[in-house]
Structure 1
Amino acid sequence: MSQSRGGPKGNFDLGKYIIVKVRKKNLYFEMIADPEEAWKAKQIINVLRKQKKDESELELDEILHNSEINLSDIYPTYDIFNNVKKAIRSNEEDLMGAFQTTEGNQVAAHFLLEGEFSWTQEQRQKWIEKKKKQIITILSRNCINPQTKKPHPPKRIEKAMEEAKISINIDKTAEEQIDSVLKMIQVVIPIRMETITMAIKIPALYAPKAYNTVDKYAQVKKSEWQTDGSWVGLVSLPAGLQMELLEKLNNLTHGKMQSKLINN
């Protein structure tokens, strides 16, 4: 049996750790985990599940061999308990019957897939705020006000989300929630997701460095280097990034770049 890595002795003070619980065959099993590391791993697992659309044994292997998930960072010990706070460890027979293994790391992977994580309200709120900021960033970079053709400031989008009483789902990625959030705030402010196409010309003196900037913000659809060393390109990018890109290019070229919006 390969459980322990310096596990708790006697009554255990959880401190910064949380309890993860799994119920199998009318038995309860518990492990202790670092909430931050467990949270990161759960986000990766959510992506894996959406890709595979099942919870097969292969998925368990992917957890064990996933370079982005380090079980030893998540669990301070591989000890499995019936009751963590009373330091009552699970016996091998129960573990084998429930998980078909007594290996601590394999059971730990099962806990990531099947466990109930006792996040505190403070932890949940922290991750909600983090996901909320991600959503706001995506919307501000990809959307515009169709009335002014300019992006909304992040603060305006945040206020619209509050007015629309939007609830952030911590179990879904920011990207998965964009469509529903956008639909809800459209009742509050004029906003839509839009991609634009621009023609850009950069003088030879600034072309190499400016091209790198363009490539960071936009998809280069056509690219031509002129005989005089200048660069001419046709690019597409989220409408919300247009002003930011033009500002950077104007600063870089001291106002000597040229751009033209192409009707899609």
Structure 2
Amino acid sequence: MKDFQKKNVNSKFTVVRLSISGEKFEIFVDPDHALRFKRGETHEYEKAIAFDEIYADAKKGVRISNEKLKKHLKTNNNQEALRIILEKGELLLNTQQRKQKIEEKRKQIITIISGNYVDPKTKIPHPAQRIEQALIEARVSIDPIKNTDEQIKGIIEELRKVIPMKSEISKLKITIPAQYAPQSIGILRKFGTVESEEWNNDGSLSSVILVSPGSKIMLIDKLNSLTKGNIIANSIE
């Protein structure tokens, strides 16, 4: 059993609160593991639980009665009650935790946009700094709790009011000389979706690959580095 310890509780952990019929059920959790559980990224709720205690007021250390647990959560099992509160309750991040999670999300969003969207005029991805500035100009609100995938569509719509953006997936046919072909397979699959592979009579490898704008640049750079520039890459319309 994990015991309640007042020291460092406010800075290290946060609270999940479930309100039922005017009663509050609160538990201390590790914010990172709690987020992963609530997003469905893991089913290991135990890693999120900081202390095996359930409170009416977690910050004051006031425990909830067993009678109220039975009445409102329909269980006498403490572990089951902890899981229910974590699953259905609201994660209450403190100011520092909230800022940290928003910054992490911001970086993820910038990476996704720069890797998958281009300026329609130049066909080149916007620099990360320009996307970051556009987020500020468009006054985009980033939710620290929601998955990035859940937010990205709405954020793209807001950013398009500030900067031109187009999603553009390229289809390339890339031919790798025989001596570099085996090593190239991992690179191709890392940076794109391989639609087909064909081993030619001379031992070279021809692959048709779907790749995002940002990944396209990195893919060509990696292959040129591997083959000393001896690749053939053509766009397929």
TM-score (norm: length of structure 1) = 0.82
1:256 is paired with a residue whose SS is coil
Task: Give the aligned residue type for 1:32.
Answer: F
Q: What is aligned with 1:8?
A: 4
User: Aligned pair 1:157/2:128, yes or no?
Assistant: no
Q: 1:168 aligns with which of 136, 142, 145?
A: 142
Give the structure 2 partner of residue 61 of structure 1: none
How far off its partner does 1:101 sit?
0.7
| Equivalent in the alignment of 2:35 | 39
Shift of 1:85: 4.0
Match of 2:185 in 1: 211
Give me the whole-angstrom Cα distance separating, in 1, the residues matched to 2:171 and 2:60.
64
TM-fit CA distance, 1:218: 1.6
CA contact 2:25–2:85 (8 Å) conserved in 1: no
The 2-side partners of 1:153 and 1:210 are apart by: 27
Residue segments in structure 2 that go unaligned for 5+ positions in a row: none
Contact 2:135 2:159 in 1 (8 A): yes
Who is 2:208 aligned against? 234
- Give the whole-Å Cα distance in 2 for the aligned partners of 1:88 and 1:211: 59
* Whole-Å separation in 2 of the counterparts to 1:86 and 1:210: 59
Aligned mate of 1:82, from 37, 56, 62: 56
Please list, as runs of the form range in 1=range in 2, the aligned pairs for 1:172-187 lying within 5 A after superposition.
172-187=146-161
- Count of residue pairs brought into register by the alignment: 235
Match status 1:97 vs 2:97: no
Alignment check: 8 A CA contact 1:71 1:105 kept: no
1:177-202 residue CA offsets vs partner (Å, 9 max, x unmatched) = 22222222222222211111111111
Counterpart amino acid of residue 107 in structure 2: K
Unaligned 5+ runs, structure 1: 46-67
Q: Distance in 1 between matches of 2:159 and 2:58?
A: 44
Distance 1:180 1:116, change over 3 A: closer
Q: Give the equivalent residue in structure 2 for 1:132.
A: 106
Q: Give secondary structure in 1 for the equivalent of 2:75.
A: coil
Q: Which residue of 1 aligns with 2:13?
A: 17
Deviation at 1:241, TM superposition (A): 1.7
Q: Secondary structure at the match of 1:32?
A: strand
RMSD (CA atoms): 1.9
- How many angstroms apart in 2 are the aligned matches of 1:187 and 1:23? 39
Partner of 2:83: 109
Q: Distance in 2 between matches of 1:27 and 1:261?
A: 62
Give the partner amino acid of 2:39: Q
- % identical aligned pairs: 32
1:100-154: CA deviation from partner (whole Å, max 9, x where unpaired): 1121111111111222333111111111111111111111111111111111222
Question: Does structure 2 conserve the Cα–Cα contact (< 8 Å) formed by 1:22 and 1:116?
Answer: yes
